[in-house]
């Protein structure tokens, strides 16, 4: 079993007021800061200002003040904090100066307890191997292999690790964990001794004796890079092509097997032929610089889905298209990986947190004012950034604050949407809801809804202090049937941007748009991509300064609206009069249906035609219970059926299909695969409900969070830690993934 590493940190903002009459950091159009660790003893802090100025930062190490300054006047700032102590707290401040007195920001804390950057191979250690005729061969092979992979962190497998020389050279050049396997027990023992002498064994490199290279005791789909030491110095080939293909990670994993030019003995012309004889259509033979190589990758997992938005897709259907290879029972699944991030990196589970996201082999997890990117196939932490204004809670009454298109992660942070490189965590671009200087704005707006679909970036404007952020204490459990915790977050405006240029393509503003009802349907048949939502046009609501709403007027003068996603043109609108959604009020799109789910004393469902808005059917049923999430479940779609505990309905007709859904055992809601529902079942454990057989199975002592924290994507069930602090039982507070055993 492989154990991942993590890069996670703590960045806690404390209040610090500027002197009376003095400017505040916000007056400089501050974006950020955000911080990420770059080495075991250093971190970088980045921020942006709308005025060019020097980059100045002050911090302390062991009580000794330090100041870092770059005098170049710029709007994009980067300062490196050096000499950080392990497992220690360091305070820092940004310093602003525009030709006058310096202004210091509020203090921020950097906790190096969460610095899990990999230790480099010691440069001052004794050389574990001689500088002989083979040394240039190993260096050339490591250089070539490292250049063939786009991965920067993860796991490298060395087949036939021999004396460990290739593993050592790769550890010096990459940030991979190196795993070596060999059938020669004595060679493995000698390699361990050599690497220990150089202080390189155990943390970066681990070597194992195995009985066979053709049947490896390793999980499928885990290795970012596969190489072979023995292929460099011995005839023949190590392992079996089918077994190498099994353990290779999809979506970016690379096989690089062969021998570089200049080797004392070149490979025979037909030495690599067996590697091309099997079902590996993406593997190819090449001869570079006199070298002879097999390079290739593994195709994506068949039937894999992507969880790119809060409820799977931008349509809010709580499904990702994931088939899990037909798996519907926990016995069909094995542990793929487990480990970090753990509970300490996360936020209190009770506040109904945003869902994790998955795309292109990466899992994005929100912690306490942090985003952590994990290799979804092996659990390696790829990057982590601290974002002080990130937190958003009470998802049942709002919309998600992040989405991904695979290449980028988009995060709503204050008044902006940050476009973050999915591979690196670097801030690539900042989109703003209002480009005017702060002092000229009549109403301070923040970025509310965020979606990336149909070639556009979608957003909405919410008024300052509207989104829910409080997460500590019973009042912020958000489980009530009434009261301020049930108020709905509403937007004043919906818009679409060109993500390449940042230009606004269209804006829509008429009523108070209820955020949990915003859904986007991709183009289908003769219909273009559409944006659906419910808005309130009641005069008293529109004149109110509040947009976190629970007043009776919110349920008056409501309209269901459909816009062309590309142009913002109104396709149709219909006045609606549903039962008040005092507890929750959702909208989803699935197949050819727009579905509204409203909860007040019981669940009510309303289905509308996607092309016209005409009401097709309505139905409803009683809650299972009126607490611990029983009265606020979110619908999930499987095929042409929609499920809302405990019932399933035909989406086209409204016919009730079942009352036998697996019952939730806590506050969490459901995520759908193509054949099953994933949820928090009886006893609080992660459970699967087989839609066809209605059988329930579950994993003991594994607990999801209080909303939607276990999702499906990439051919796996992905469950980052989200239950820390729960008093309901004894849980294993770990992140983990499950994959079908037949992968």
* Structure confidence by residue, pLDDT tens digits, 306-335: 999 999 999 999 999 999 999 999 999 999
Query: What would the mean pLDDT of 587-599 be, rounded to a whole number?
Result: 98
Residue 621 tokens read as: 């049923």
pTM over 0.75: yes
Q: Cα–Cα distance between 731 and 240 in angstroms, integer?
A: 40
The count of residues in the chain is 743
237-241 LR contacts (CB < 8 Å, sep 24+): 237/271, 237/272, 237/274, 237/275, 238/159, 238/160, 238/213, 239/159, 239/160, 239/213, 239/214, 240/213, 240/214, 241/274, 241/275, 241/277, 241/278, 241/280, 241/283
Band (pLDDT 50/70/90 cuts) for residue 281 is low
Residue 668 is assigned to a structural domain of this protein: yes
Tell me which of 276, 296, 316 is where a domain ends.
296
Query: What would the mean pLDDT of 176-204 be, rounded to a whole number?
Result: 95
Query: Token pair 């809804």 is at which residue?
Result: 449
**Of the ranges 154-168, 440-454, 470-484, the best mean pLDDT one:** 154-168
Residue 140 sits in the same domain as residue 110: no
Indicate if the pLDDT at residue 277 is higher than 90: no
Indicate if the pLDDT at residue 443 is higher than 80: no
CA of 525: how far to CAs of 188, 522, 564, in Å? Answer: 60, 10, 14
In this prediction, residue 272 carries a pLDDT of 84
Of 87-96, 451-460, 511-520, which gets the smallest average pLDDT?
A: 87-96
Residue 54 sits in the same domain as residue 149: no
Give CA angle at 556 (553, 557), nearest 5°: 125
Instruction: Calculate the average pLDDT of the chain.
Output: 90
Residue 343 sits in the same domain as residue 228: no
The three-state secondary structure class of 458 is strand
Band (pLDDT 50/70/90 cuts) for residue 441 is low
Residue 315 is assigned to a structural domain of this protein: no
Query: What would the mean pLDDT of 473-478 be, rounded to a whole number?
Result: 84
What's the CATH code of the domain at 604?
A: 2.130.10.10
Indicate if the pLDDT at residue 250 is higher than 90: yes
Query: What would the mean pLDDT of 714-737 be, rounded to a whole number?
Result: 86
In this prediction, residue 65 carries a pLDDT of 93
Indicate if the pLDDT at residue 439 is higher than 80: no
Indicate if the pLDDT at residue 97 is higher than 90: no
Of 44-53, 266-275, 705-714, which gets the smallest average pLDDT?
A: 266-275
Residue 93 sits in the same domain as residue 149: no
Indicate if the pLDDT at residue 12 is higher than 80: no
Give the structural domain span for 199.
135-296
Residue 122 is assigned to a structural domain of this protein: no
Of 5-19, 53-67, 101-115, 350-364, which gets the smallest average pLDDT?
A: 5-19
Of 407-421, 478-492, 594-608, 715-729, which gets the smallest average pLDDT?
A: 715-729
Residue 105 sits in the same domain as residue 220: no
Of the CA atoms within 13 Å of residue 650, those in its CB half-sphere come to 8
In this prediction, residue 116 carries a pLDDT of 79
In this prediction, residue 743 carries a pLDDT of 67
- Nearest CA to 603 out of 648, 568, 565, 558 is that of 648
Residue 236 sits in the same domain as residue 277: yes
Residue 685 is assigned to a structural domain of this protein: yes
Tell me which of 65, 85, 114 is where a domain ends.
114
Residue 220 sits in the same domain as residue 347: no
What is the DSSP code string of 281-302?
TTEEEE--TT-EEEEE-BPPPT
Indicate if the pLDDT at residue 461 is higher than 50: yes
Indicate if the pLDDT at residue 79 is higher than 80: yes
Of 10-24, 50-64, 128-142, 348-362, which gets the smallest average pLDDT?
A: 10-24
Indicate if the pLDDT at residue 694 is higher than 50: yes
Query: What would the mean pLDDT of 667-684 be, rounded to a whole number?
Result: 94
In this prediction, residue 262 carries a pLDDT of 84
Band (pLDDT 50/70/90 cuts) for residue 675 is very high
- Nearest CA to 256 out of 145, 158, 157 is that of 145
Residue 449 is assigned to a structural domain of this protein: yes
Query: What would the mean pLDDT of 299-306 be, rounded to a whole number?
Result: 94
Residue 101 sits in the same domain as residue 151: no
Indicate if the pLDDT at residue 279 is higher than 90: no
Residue 203 tokens read as: 């943390």
Question: What is the widest separation between alpha-carbon atoms in the chain?
Answer: 85
Residue 534 sits in the same domain as residue 680: yes
User: 637: part of which helix (H) or strand (E)?
Assistant: strand 636-638
In this prediction, residue 7 carries a pLDDT of 27
Band (pLDDT 50/70/90 cuts) for residue 13 is very low
Indicate if the pLDDT at residue 81 is higher than 70: yes
Indicate if the pLDDT at residue 682 is higher than 90: no
Indicate if the pLDDT at residue 118 is higher than 60: yes
Task: Name the domain count of the chain.
Answer: 3
Residue 577 sits in the same domain as residue 648: yes
What's the CATH code of the domain at 192?
A: 3.40.50.150
Query: What pLDDT digit, counting tens, does each position of 162-173 carry?
Result: 999 999 999 999
Residue 10 is assigned to a structural domain of this protein: no
Residue 69 sits in the same domain as residue 218: no
Share of the chain above pLDDT 70, in %: 94
Residue 575 is assigned to a structural domain of this protein: yes
Residue 272 sits in the same domain as residue 350: no
Tell me which of 85, 114, 143 is where a domain ends.
114
Indicate if the pLDDT at residue 4 is higher than 70: no
What's the CATH code of the domain at 81?
A: 2.60.40.10
Residue 119 is assigned to a structural domain of this protein: no
Query: What would the mean pLDDT of 176-197 be, rounded to a whole number?
Result: 96
Q: Cα–Cα distance between 724 and 731 in angstroms, integer?
A: 8
Q: Tell me the Cα Rg of the chain.
A: 27
């Amino acid at each position: 079993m492989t154990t991942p590493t993590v890069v996670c940190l703590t960045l806690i903002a404390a209040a610090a007021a500027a002197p009376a009459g003095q400017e505040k950091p916000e007056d400089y159009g501050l974006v950020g800061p955000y911080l990420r660790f770059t080495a075991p003893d250093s971190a970088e802090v980045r921020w942006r200002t709308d005025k060019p100025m020097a980059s100045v930062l002050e911090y302390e190490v062991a009580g000794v003040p330090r100041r870092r300054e770059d005098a170049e006047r710029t709007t994009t700032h980067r300062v490196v904090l050096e000499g950080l102590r392990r497992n220690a707290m360091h305070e820092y401040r940004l310093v602003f100066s525009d030709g006058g007195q310096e202004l210091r920001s509020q203090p921020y804390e950097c906790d190096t307890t969460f610095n899990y950057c990999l230790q480099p191979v010691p440069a001052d250690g004794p050389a574990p191997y001689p500088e002989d005729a083979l040394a240039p061969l190993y260096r050339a092979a490591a250089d070539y292999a490292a250049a063939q992979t786009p991965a920067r962190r993860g796991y490298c497998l060395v087949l036939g690790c021999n004396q460990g020389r290739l593993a050592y050279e790769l550890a010096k050049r990459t940030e991979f964990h190196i795993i070596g396997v060999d059938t020669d027990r004595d060679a493995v023992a000698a390699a361990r001794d050599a690497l220990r002498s150089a202080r390189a064994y155990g943390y970066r490199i681990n070597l194992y004796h195995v009985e066979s290279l053709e049947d490896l005791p390793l999980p499928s789909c885990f290795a970012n890079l596969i190489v072979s030491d023995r292929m460099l110095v011995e005839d023949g080939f190590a392992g079996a092509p089918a077994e190498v293909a099994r353990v290779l990670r999809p979506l970016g994993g690379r096989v690089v097997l062969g021998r570089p030019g200049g080797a004392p003995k070149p490979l025979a012309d037909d030495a690599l032929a067996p590697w091309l004889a099997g079902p590996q259509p993406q593997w190819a033979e090449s001869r570079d610089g006199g070298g002879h190589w097999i390079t290739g990758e593994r195709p994506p997992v068949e039937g894999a889905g992507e969880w790119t938005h809060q409820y799977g897709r931008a349509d809010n259907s709580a499904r990702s298209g994931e088939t899990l290879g037909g798996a519907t029972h926990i016995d069909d699944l094995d542990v793929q990986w487990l480990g970090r991030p753990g509970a300490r990196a996360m936020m209190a589970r009770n506040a109904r947190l945003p869902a994790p996201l998955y795309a292109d082999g990466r899992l994005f997890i929100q912690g306490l004012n942090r985003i952590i990117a994990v290799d979804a196939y092996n659990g390696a932490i790829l990057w982590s950034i601290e974002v002080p204004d990130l937190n958003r809670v009470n998802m049942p009454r709002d919309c998600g604050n992040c989405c991904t298109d695979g290449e980028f992660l988009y995060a709503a942070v204050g008044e902006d949407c940050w476009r973050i490189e999915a591979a690196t965590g670097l801030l690539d671009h900042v989109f703003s809801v209002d480009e005017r200087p702060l002092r000229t704005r009549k109403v301070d707006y923040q970025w509310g809804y965020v979606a990336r679909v149909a070639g556009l970036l979608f957003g909405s404007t919410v008024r300052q202090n509207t989104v829910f952020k409080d997460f500590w204490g019973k009042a912020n459990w958000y489980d009530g049937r009434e009261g301020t915790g049930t108020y709905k977050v509403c937007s004043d405006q919906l818009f679409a941007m060109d993500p390449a240029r940042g230009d606004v393509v269209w804006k829509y503003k008429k009523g108070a748009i209820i955020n949990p009802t915003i859904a986007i349907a991709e183009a289908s048949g003769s219909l273009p991509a559409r944006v659906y939502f419910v808005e309130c046009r009641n005069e008293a609501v529109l004149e109110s300064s509040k947009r976190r709403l629970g007043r009776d007027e919110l349920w008056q003068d409501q309209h269901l609206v459909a816009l062309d996603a590309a142009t913002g043109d109104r396709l149709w609108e219909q006045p609606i009069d549903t039962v008040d959604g005092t507890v929750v009020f959702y909208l989803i799109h699935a197949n050819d249906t727009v579905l509204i789910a409203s909860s007040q004393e019981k669940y009510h469902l309303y289905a509308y035609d996607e092309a016209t808005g005409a009401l097709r059917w309505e139905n409803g049923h009683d809650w299972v219970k009126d607490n611990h999430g029983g009265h606020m479940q979110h619908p999930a779609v499987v095929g042409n059926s929609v499920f809302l505990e405990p019932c399933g309905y035909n989406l086209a007709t409204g016919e009730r299909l079942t009352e036998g859904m697996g019952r939730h055992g806590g506050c969490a809601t459901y995520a759908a695969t193509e054949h099953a529902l994933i949820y928090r079942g009886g006893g609080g454990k992660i459970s699967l409900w087989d839609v066809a057989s209605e059988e329930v199975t579950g994993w003991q002592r594994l607990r999801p969070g209080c909303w939607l924290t276990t999702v499906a994507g990439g051919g796996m069930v992905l469950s980052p830690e989200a239950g820390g602090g729960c008093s309901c039982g004894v849980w294993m507070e770990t992140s983990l993934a499950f994959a079908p055993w037949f992968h």
